[in-house]
């Protein structure tokens, strides 16, 4: 079995980390978020590389986070679309943390593309606005597919839009997903891409418009080079409550 990368939390050893040691080996750490870790694994039975998402142990004891994690896997399993990574397996590690495996995408997220585009002229030349808009249109189509099936994403932002080979786009990290019409009891999402109504916790149920707003904020960043609101999370939330963002044509002209 491959050794675990140093980023793996909790000091677990390779010998007891995976639920099925004869099925998977861990090759690399791909990324991490506030609630989960993602690893590149090898499926020994089917002889293919996959991504494995695992709930962090510090979060695994919280019932609502475990439920949300499983809800994400279930949502992905029923959203059969080329731009939504399919789930292959769901299970539990020996320490009780849930995991699921999914297709691995070789590429980069839109946040990385936009950052490099601002830093390097050659990236700007290889990523003209027309190419970025083509990526954005694909993302809109994927989200519309989910909306037709009454599923909201609730955390759309450039980092959750992956660009793979031949500019194939994937919308990822559906960890906050809810069925359209569900009521949220807490503020969730990324401040710079939140719709104003998401700040009103306990208000009428959210609907597809929150994702449409977030996509608009993504488009704003594509054109202006920055999200509609910038600053610390608290500063962004305060600005969102007070006034609309600066007009796009003003920021783009500057």
Can you tell me the mean pLDDT for 202-227? 90
Boundaries of every domain in the chain: 16-103, 108-253
SS (H, E, C) the chain: CCCCCCCCHHHCCHHHHCCCCCCEEEEEEEEECCCEEEEEEEECCCCEEEEEEEECHHHHCCHHHHHHHHHHHHHHHHCCCCCCCCEEEEEECCCCCEEEEEECCCCEEHHHHHHHHHHCHHHHHHCCHHHHHHHHHHHHHHHHHHHHCCEECCCCCHHHEEECHHHCEEECCCCCCEECCCCCCCCCCCHHHCCHHHHCCCCCCCCCHHHHHHHHHHHHHHHHCCCCCCCCHHHHHHHHHHCCCCCHHHHHHC
| Catalytic residue of the set 16, 20, 22, 155 | 155
Name which CATH class applies to 108-253: mainly alpha
pLDDT score for 16: 43
pTM of the complete model? 0.83
Which overall architecture, per CATH, does domain 16-103 show?
2-Layer Sandwich (3.30)
Residue 2 confidence (pLDDT) above 50: no
The chain-wide mean pLDDT, for the chain, equals 83
pLDDT tens-digit profile of 14-53? 434 555 556 888 888 888 777 888 999 999 888 999 999 9
pLDDT score for 146: 94
pLDDT band at 184 (very low <50, low <70, confident <90, very high): low
Does 211 qualify as catalytic in the annotation? no
pLDDT tens-digit profile of 77-129? 889 999 999 999 998 887 788 899 999 988 999 999 999 988 877 677 889 99
């Amino acid at each position: 079995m491959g050794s675990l990368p140093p980023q793996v939390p909790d000091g677990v050893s390779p010998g007891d980390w995976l639920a099925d040691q004869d099925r998977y080996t861990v090759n690399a750490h791909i990324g991490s978020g506030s609630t989960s870790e993602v690893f590149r694994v090898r499926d020994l039975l089917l002889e293919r590389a996959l991504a494995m998402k695992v709930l962090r142990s510090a979060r695994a004891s919280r019932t609502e986070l475990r439920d949300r994690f499983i809800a994400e896997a279930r949502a992905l399993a029923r959203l059969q679309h080329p731009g939504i990574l399919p789930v292959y397996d769901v299970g539990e590690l020996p320490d009780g943390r849930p995991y699921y495996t999914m297709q691995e995408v070789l590429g980069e997220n839109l946040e990385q593309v936009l950052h490099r585009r601002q830093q390097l002229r050659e990236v700007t030349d290889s990523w003209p606005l027309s190419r970025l808009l083509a990526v954005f249109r694909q993302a809109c189509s994927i989200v519309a597919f989910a909306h037709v099936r009454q599923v909201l994403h609730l955390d759309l932002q450039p980092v959750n839009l992956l660009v793979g080979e031949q500019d194939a786009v994937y919308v990822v990290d559906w960890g906050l997903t809810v069925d359209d019409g569900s009521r949220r009891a807490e503020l969730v999402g990324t401040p710079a891409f939140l719709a104003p109504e998401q700040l009103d916790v306990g208000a009428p149920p959210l609907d597809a418009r929150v994702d449409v707003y977030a996509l608009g904020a993504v488009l704003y960043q594509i054109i202006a080079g920055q999200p509609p609101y910038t600053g610390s999370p608290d500063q962004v939330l305060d600005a969102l409550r007070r006034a609309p963002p600066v007009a796009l044509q003003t920021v783009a002209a500057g």
